Structure 1
Amino acid sequence: MGEQRRGDWMQTATGLAFWPMDPRPSEVKIEDIAHALSNLCRYAGHCREFYSVAQHSVLVSRNVPKEFRLWGLLHDASEAYLVDVPRPVKPFIGGYKEAEESVERAVAEAFGLTWPIPVEVKRVDSAILADEAAQIMASPPRDWCLPEPRLGISIDPWSPQTAKRKFLKAFHDLNLS
């Protein structure tokens, strides 16, 4: 029998075993992250058309200072293993925040990023909500009460295949510069 791990494992897109409740940096693979995030729709699928977490991540990466671009690209990487839970729901799922942080830490270590996620990335992640709300969502029934003004970027949703390709290209470009 193998080493005892916390929780159960899931199979990733590349065929690896990953324990979301006991993540290890050595088990975090960019190909799995890109594949999963490109197939995962933002806003629990309530967009007017498919808009992936991978595309959102690429856009965040493009709008943070250069030194934070890799974190911008990977700020939602935990969702490749835990799914994209809408912000209003997260506080009510017991243990989710701890699982999310555990996977985020494994991602940070796997790609040589400092912990925690920089505030500049979190600010842009919050600001892009205003652009997304205006461009990919139906007219709101009430004010979203967003913490940041719009970035002013244009969002043209990509297919999952395009999102995966652009996510991986952004990753490789950042690692070559």
Structure 2
Amino acid sequence: MRHLVNITERRGDWLQTFTGKQFWPLDPHPDDIDIRDIAHALANTCRFNGHCLRFYSVAEHSVAVAENVPLEHRLTALLHDAAEAYLADVPRPVKPYLSGYKDIERQLDECIAEKFGLAYPWPDAVHEVDNRILADEQVQLMTIAPAEWALPRPPLGVDLPHWSPREAEVAFACMYEKLSGVSA
């Protein structure tokens, strides 16, 4: 029988993860974070709030970023959006207007960094590739834009394979295992 934590011991309410754990988004602890939950949730989360020509997961995006940064930043790049496994993928134009969201996301990013032994804040190399792949995604995933996107960087030239959620989950987990040496 599993022991459930008394909710009065933690801040906020909890959500149940894919692996059946309790997770408190407002009070994250490194021991609560599971790479299997991250891989599964990100593989089932569509980028752009689903407003793309076909399904494209945050897990696939994360693998693409990880494949295109220097080797020393690959694990960080793979996990740069891991907080979205617990908070959802909030579109960039909305995030600045959600009071307290950036603080919650930052706290969770810091917790994820601690869990996986990563430096935080994320390195500039990860942000650079993330923004350049965003430009590739805009070209390959979106209909003709009604206005010019304010993209911070030019495209990287990455071809997106458009994996199914299952393929994305497996690719994410395999890359994690390869980079960390720990089974997912």
Q: TM-score, length-normalised on structure 1? A: 0.97
**Is 1:75 matched with 2:80?**
yes
User: Are 2:23 and 1:15 equivalent residues in the alignment?
Assistant: no
Counterpart position of 2:91: 86
User: How many percent of aligned residue pairs carry the same amino acid?
Assistant: 53
Q: CA deviation at 1:27?
A: 0.5
Deviation at 1:114, TM superposition (A): 1.1
Displacement after TM superposition at 1:176 (Å)? 2.6
- Look up the equivalent residue of 2:46 and give its one-letter code: C
State how far apart, in whole Å, the 1-side matches of 2:112 and 2:154 are: 29
2: distance between equivalents of 1:135 and 1:146? 14
1:50 and 2:55 equivalent? yes
Q: Deviations over 1:113-137 (max 9, x none)?
A: 0111111101111111110000011
3-state secondary structure, aligned to 1:26: helix
After superposition, what is the alpha-carbon deviation per residue over 1:89-143, rounded to whole angstroms, capped at 9, x for unaligned? 0001111101101110111011000111111101111111110000011111111
Q: Give the structure 2 partner of residue 142 of structure 1.
A: 147
Q: Which secondary structure does the structure 2 equivalent of 1:158 belong to?
A: coil
Amino acid at match of 1:5: R
Which structure 2 residues correspond to residues 104-123 of structure 1 after superposition, within 5 A? 104-123=109-128
The DSSP-based 3-state class of the residue aligned with 2:9 is coil
CA distance in 2, matches of 1:13, 1:143: 38
Matched AA of 1:88? P
Amino acid at match of 1:67: E
CA distance in 1, matches of 2:117, 2:76: 10
Which residue does the alignment assign to 1:165?
170
Residue 80 of structure 1 aligns to a residue whose secondary structure is helix
Q: Distance in 1 between matches of 2:136 and 2:37?
A: 27
- Residue 135 of structure 2: aligned partner: 130
Superposition TM-score, scaled by structure 2 size: 0.94
**Hey, which bits of structure 1, 4+ residues long, moved more than 2 A?**
none
Q: Please, what is the CA RMSD of the aligned residues?
A: 1.2
Give, in whole Å, the separation in 2 of the partners of 1:139 and 1:128.
18
2:68 maps to: 63
Partners of 1:77 and 1:176 lie apart in 2 by 18
Q: 1:31: which partner in 2?
A: 36
Please state whether the residue corresponding to 1:64 is helix, strand or coil: coil
Q: Where does residue 179 of structure 2 map in the other structure?
A: 174
Structure 2 alignment gaps of length 5 or more: none
Show the counterpart of 2:102. Answer: 97
